[in-house]
Every structure is written in C-alpha cells, then in structure tokens.
Amino acid sequence: MNKQHQAVANRVLTVVCTAVVMAAGIQNAHANAFRNPPGSSAALALDGAKTVMVDDASAICVNPANLADIDRASVQASLTLIKADASFDSPSVSADSRNTLKTLPNIYAVNPLGDGNIVFGLGITSPYGQSVEWAKSSTLPYFTEMTLVDITPTLSTRLCKYVSVGAGLDIYWSQLELEQLMPWSLATGNPTDATGSINLKGDGMAAGATLGVTLDITEKQRAALVYHSPFSIDYEGTAEFNGVPASLAAVGIQSRTDFETNIKFPTLVSLAYAIDLSKTVTVGAEVEWIEFSRFETRPLDIGANSNLQAPGGLPTEVPQNWDDVWTYGLAAAWQCSDSVQLRGSYRYLESPIPDTTLAPTLPDADKHTVGIGIGWEGKTQSIDFGYTYSFIEEREITSNQNPQYNATYETDSHIVTLSYSYYL
C-alpha cells in the first residue's frame, strides 16, 4: 500500500475494530460476565448454596455427586425467562437495550443402573451465553449474541456411608454472531459514502469435565466440593462487510472474508456447607472461585483481509485483562409440608471485567442477587418455581481502552425459572 491508501485503511480499521474485536461479548443478566443463571428452579432459588442443597436431576450440572442417592429414573425440563435491561450513556451516544426478554431451556434425565449403586445422568444445558441488542441509531454493535450448548453425560456413586462422588463429561458447542452499522464516510472522509453494515458469525466446539464430591459429615451436616474444568473454543466463520466503497476495495478491504477468534472459559471451584437446623429447615453457604484471568486477550484473524493487520491497523489480538473473582452465597429451605418446600437465597457476584475493557456488548457490574422459590412434589411428578432479582451497581467508566466506551452503564434483571419433573 502507498501512504495514502494506508491512511485510508487505518481510518476504516479504527472504526471496524470496535465491532470486530467485541464479537464475543454478551449482555449479563445474572452471573459473572458471560455466565448464565443456574439451569433449574431449585438451583436458581437455592443459588447461594446450590452445590450442597440441590439433589434433583439438575444436580447433573450443579454437583453430579448429589445424584448418588436417586433411586428412580426421572426426566426434568426447565425453562428460564430472563428480562435484562441495560442503558449506555456517554457524551456522544445514549441508548437503551431492546428485545430484552430472553428464554433459556434446559433438560435433564437420570437413571439408576443395575442394583442402583451407580446413577447415570444426561443434561443438555446452556451455562454460558445470552445476548444484547441496541437500536440501529449509533455505532454501537446493535446485535451481539453468544449461544453455548453443553451436553453432559454423568456417572455418580456412593463410595461409602459418608462420601458420594460424581463425574461428567462436558461437550460444548458455541456460536457467536454480531451485527453493526458501518458509517463508511467516517473511514473514507467522503460524506457521500453510504452507511453499510458488518456481520460476523462463527462457531466452534470444545470438551471439559465436571467433578463433584459430597461428604455427609453427620446425619445433619454435609459439605460439597465441585470442580468445573477450563476449556477454550476456537470460533471459525465468516465476516461480511456490506456496502464497501470503491475507495476501500481498492486498498484491499474485501466484502467477505474468513473470521476466527478464541475465547478461554474459566476454571470454577466451589465449596459449600449445609446443616439441618430441624427436621424441616436446612440452611447452607457457598463460596466459589472463578479463574476469569484466563481471558487475557482475544485473538483476531480476518482471513483475506489479514494484510490490513499491519502496524497502525487492525490488531491481531485485543487485551481483555479480566480478573479472578470470588462469589459468596447463603440459602435456606423449609419443608413446610410433605409435598411443598419453600426456598430462598442470597449471592454476591463480583464482576471480573476492569474499567479499561468494559464494553456495551457486556455491561457487567458487581451485583447482589436475591432469590425465592417453591417446589411441589407428588408421587410421579413435581413442579418447581424460582425467581431472582439482581441489585446491580451502576458503573461510570472514564479510563476505557476504547474512548467510545467511556460512559455510564446501568443494568437491571429479573429471572424466572419453571421446572417440571416426571418420575418413571
């Protein structure tokens, strides 16, 4: 490229970079960064100590060791409704999120094998994901979505009177999609160039493991330790640059190229304790460590346009610099009758995203969640309801690596989960 062409390319890349490098962002509704809420009503309502207090089929993904004492086959279907609102307010752009009601299905099945010493389980869940959509009236990415499906076959057994263990193989498939308006005139300096758009889409697979141990300390006390292994997904797909002006095509910007990036998902370790205060009341506590620091950078490969990733152009990787975090929770359950249980919980969730890399595609913040729930169990079926509201702190960002993202971020969320189980 000559100097004039390089200058034009640099201008377009400065604008395009904002969209492309944030392709993996999603709107947070409940948990830290891009984590989804627990995948059943009981787990949502007992989120403050779920790994030690949830013992239905959804324990497949919460703590597989808790399946060990299940003595009959069952299937459970859960549907989570998430109402998450976000606002972005900067000196140049003010926007509110759109289409903020999301649905999240999960399904589980368990079956004792042979003489019942081993319990097999299979879960299909979405532990990470969600999406955010803004109006098409600004240079913010107006649609960003990460979808992730986890297929988890598990085995659980009781080693002795005091110890049960469980292990699951996590098979992940994930897809990223981003759409953003592209005001080409900002890149070319020609006011007659029309506004186009950028569309990114890619998918990938990975594998991991979930391990759990539950210890019955006494008849009234128990503890649980759960480990979710880290995993990394390489996303491959296409990037479409619509409406590319002739002046930019001349300097090598193609309308369609390959697109690749990578996301490193965290290690999770949780330790929980529960005690029966009486025959009908149980309380518990849980602490969790999440290794989000694995997400240091996000690599970027734009295929045929990679010649533009020269000094001063589009970067080959984008700093993220996330922090490791801790979460803390409390939960209680009251068996108010033979068939009805009332539940409640509290959890504090710290955001791993520093001010320097926060973005409107993932307006995360520290939050306090309060959950309630009720469960009814009959001879052959059960119905559960859980609800959580998050008290989310406002964030005012002034030191972002992208000056466009210096703004005030506000978020709000309501989560409802309905679960139905049938016992075979």
Report yes or no: 397 and 406 within 8 Å, Cβ to Cβ. yes
Q: What is the pLDDT of residue 12?
A: 47
Q: What is the pLDDT of residue 25?
A: 41
Which superfamily is assigned to 3-423 in CATH? Outer membrane protein transport protein (OMPP1/FadL/TodX) (2.40.160.60)
Confirm whether pTM is higher than 0.85: yes
Name the 3-class secondary structure at 267. Answer: coil
- Least trusted range by pLDDT, from 40-44, 126-130, 379-383: 126-130
Report yes or no: 152 and 122 within 8 Å, Cβ to Cβ. yes
Q: Average of pLDDT values for 260-275?
A: 94
Take residue 230 and report the two structure tokens written for it.
């880290």
Q: Average of pLDDT values for 326-354?
A: 95
**What is 334-397 written as a DSSP string?**
EE-SSSEEEEEEEEEE-----TTT-BTTB----EEEEEEEEEEE-SSEEEEEEEEEEEE--EE-
State how far the Cα of 297 lies from the Cα of 129, in Å rounded to an integer. 19
Percent of the chain predicted with pLDDT > 90:
54
Cα–Cα nearest to 255, from 1, 22, 12: 12
Chain segment 413-423, per-residue pLDDT in tens = 899 999 999 99
List the chain domain ranges. Answer: 3-423
Q: How many CA atoms lie within 13 A of 113 on its CB side?
A: 11
Contact residues for 330 (Cβ-Cβ < 8 A; gap 6+): 48, 49, 283, 284, 285, 286, 345, 346, 347
Chain segment 371-385, per-residue pLDDT in tens = 999 999 999 999 999
- Would you place residue 70 in the very low, low, confident or very high pLDDT band (cuts 50, 70, 90)? very high
Q: How many CA atoms lie within 13 A of 323 on its CB side?
A: 16
